[in-house]
Chain A
Amino acid sequence: MRIRAAVSAALASAGILLVGWQSGVHGADTRSAIAAAATGNQASGTGTTGSSGAASSESAASSATTGGSGTTGNSGATGASGAAGAAAKAGGTYDGDVVQTRFGTVQVQITVKAGQVTDVTALKLTDAEGRSVQISNYAAPVLRDEVLQAQSADVQTVGGATVTSDAYLTSLQAALDAANL
């Protein structure tokens, strides 16, 4: 009887592990297929950004942030490191799972270029009234040379965190103002 318990427990456990493994591999395959189709690049070992990163539209952006910047350590930990690992090998777009958020149904697409997450877009979003809308206004991690550039020579004004009147004297704005006196 003890043998019966041991054998059944071993079989059941092996079965459960196998199912878990298969669904994990299947999910990764789907994602890598999307990535390969999107870029034509070789996409080996895709990340799990989809399932863990696309928790909600809000945390999607934050976990993607984590992945892109390499600061793991929060909810996106598994997904983020996976994404970073995959991103190093392949660029392209990655579709997340369709998840329910407080804004409605949303699927997040992450664009990876040269190992960096460059864009997070909500692909599918149904708001409370059931209309489909698209949001592209997420703040995604970017590299310094990917933001709009400016040289102090060709701007007319300078913005920054509140400048005190003392700090103004040495500020770029002061230089501009002086030039325009």
Chain B
Amino acid sequence: MNTQLLPSPGTGTPMRPAHGPAPVREAGRFASQHRRRLLRADVLTVTAWSSLAAAVALWLADGGLTAASSPAGMITALGIVAGLAGMDLVLLMLLLAARIPFIDGAVGHDRALEFHRKLGKPSLYLLLAHGLLIAVGYGMAEGLDPVSEAVALWVLIPDMWLAFISLALFIAVVVTSLVAVRRRFPYEFWYAVHLLTYGAVLTSLPHQFSVGGLFAVGTWQRWYWLGICIATGAALLYYRVIQPVRATFRHQLTVERVTSVAPGVVNIEMSGLQVGSLAGNGGRFFIWRFLAPGLWWHTHPFSLSAEPVRKGPDGHGRLRITVRDLGRGSAQLLRLRRGTKVAVEGPYGLFSSAARSRDRVVMIGAGIGITPFRALLETTPFAPGQATVLLRGHSNQELYLGEEILELCRQRGATLFHLTGGRDPASPDSWLPASEHRAGYALADYVPEIAHADVYVCGPSRWAGNVLNAARASGVKEGQLHHERFDW
């Protein structure tokens, strides 16, 4: 039998852990939380578009249209607008990747990075157009061909050689990250290439303020542009450098022990200070860095697989992540030594109660993607009978932490299904094991009220895509779907 049904306990005997989550106080609590979150997302959308409009408005306010009266002027004007819009998109990209809590809480880390990726090509095209159109436009005004004009710009105008280098770096970054995504280069390679972005942005800045007539000394345009550049830089510095360093020093995490869960899967238990402040994040992920030779430069995004346990009065305690050998980086984690210091940043993502929009909740995990549900199940509020957990794996052995989740479901009154067995090779669109698929089961058969529930999905991306499609087919709206990528 590969389907296991755990009936929910009767409503008369609610079973809750002693330090469990707060009970659901009023109906519709999640609905208003959801509305607030959508409002934040909308505010972000409007802000992003407005910033783009403002970049063009800067040029309009400077009387840009009147300059575009000749063909050369028109081309130059287009070039200037392309440059402004391109730089604005680059700043937006940097902000989306800055792990700013407001953005993370509104759309989640995944979607922020998805937008980040989507902006990559448009911003590159705009910056390329900027360089080309300016060279052509200026060249026409001076009677030079674009190449000679570009050479003249490089040679004669201060800071322009930096701008050329910047453009080359931008091209390098976008091309390598497109290739890296396609060829599945190691995450660290892709990460190193992205560091070049900072070089590209920094080398592009001098010419904007020294050559750009729009941003001449004393104009309000200069202050606005300086403001958004500095704000972006400050956000990056604070959230990507200062905060992680502070968190690492604050928690002083060290590896306590590494235990095997299944072949190639280990629990890494760490102890540290003030672990309480890391609690309550459900399945949100942290970025871990194990400070051991050969390992320290790898970063690992993993959720906690169990809520932190406090042991001492000073907040001293223990926490745990569960890791499967997914790539070279995580393979080495299986041999971590006790006492290894750990740098931590986070939590990031929306895989937590913060994403809830309904009172019912459904969690569907596969393989190592099951582990974040352990912590989410422990904390997210629901009344007994209002939660359903579906765990998918090739075998029972692959239902990592299955025992612990079973125990939690018992305590909190959640319905649990184990779905084990191989895929049906004939139907690659199915998320179910072959036997269930052939028996004609669908998502709604496991969770009849799924259209009125939040659906959390975590697992390999192909499988997760199938689940999301199945959920949509069952009437689940986009706002109720919460998905965490688990393969880097």
Contact = CB atoms under 8 A, between A and B. Distances in A.
Given A1-B38, A72-B142, A8 B217 contact: no
A5 B46 contact: yes
Interface stretch (B58-66, B381-389, B407-415, B421-429): B58-66
Given A1-B479, A73-B153, A81 B63 contact: no
Contacts of A24: 60-66
Interface string A42-83: 000111100111011001000100000011111111111110
B474 interface: no
Contacts of A104: none
Given A48-B62, A71-B142, A82-B73, A56 B56 contact: no
B219 A51 contact: yes
SS of A interface (majority): helix
B157 A74 contact: yes
A20 B76 CA distance: 19
A21 interface: yes
B75 to A, nearest CB: 11
Contacts of A73: 138, 141-142, 149, 152-153, 156-157
A1 B62 CA distance: 35
A70 B50 contact: no
B440 interface: no
A126 interface: no
Interface in A12-30: 12-14, 16-17, 19-21, 23-25, 27-28
Contacts of A46: 66
A12 B43 CA distance: 11
Contacts of B62: 24, 27, 48, 51-52, 78
A181 B69 CA distance: 61
B201 interface: no
A80 B212 CA distance: 12
B216 A55 contact: yes
Contacts of A25: 63, 65
A51 B61 CA distance: 10
Interface string B62-95: 1111110110110011001000000000000000
Contacts of A19: 57, 61
Contact of A48 (B53, B66, B70): B66
A4 interface: yes
Given A19-B57, A23-B61, A48-B62, A78 B479 contact: no
Interface centre among A9, A25, A53, by most B CB within 10 Å?
A9
Interface residues of A, number: 49
A34 interface: no
Contacts of A76: 213
A100 interface: yes
Nearest to B80: A78
A57 to B, nearest CB: 11
Given A13-B49, A77-B138, A20 B69 contact: no
B69 A75 contact: no
Given A24-B66, A45-B66, A63 B54 contact: no
A33 interface: no
A55 B142 CA distance: 23
Contacts of B487: none
Given A9-B45, A81-B76, A63 B213 contact: yes
A121 B46 CA distance: 45
Interface string B194-216: 00000000000000001111101
A86 B58 CA distance: 21
B214 A78 contact: yes
A140 interface: no
A49 to B, nearest CB: 9
Give the top 5 A-B pairs by smallest Cβ distance, nearest first: A20-B57, A55-B216, A13-B53, A48-B63, A20-B60
26 contacts: A1-B38, A9-B45, A9-B46, A13-B52, A16-B57, A19-B61, A20-B58, A20-B59, A21-B61, A24-B63, A24-B65, A46-B66, A48-B62, A48-B64, A48-B67, A51-B216, A56-B218, A73-B152, A74-B211, A75-B211, A78-B67, A78-B77, A81-B141, A85-B66, A85-B67, A101-B217
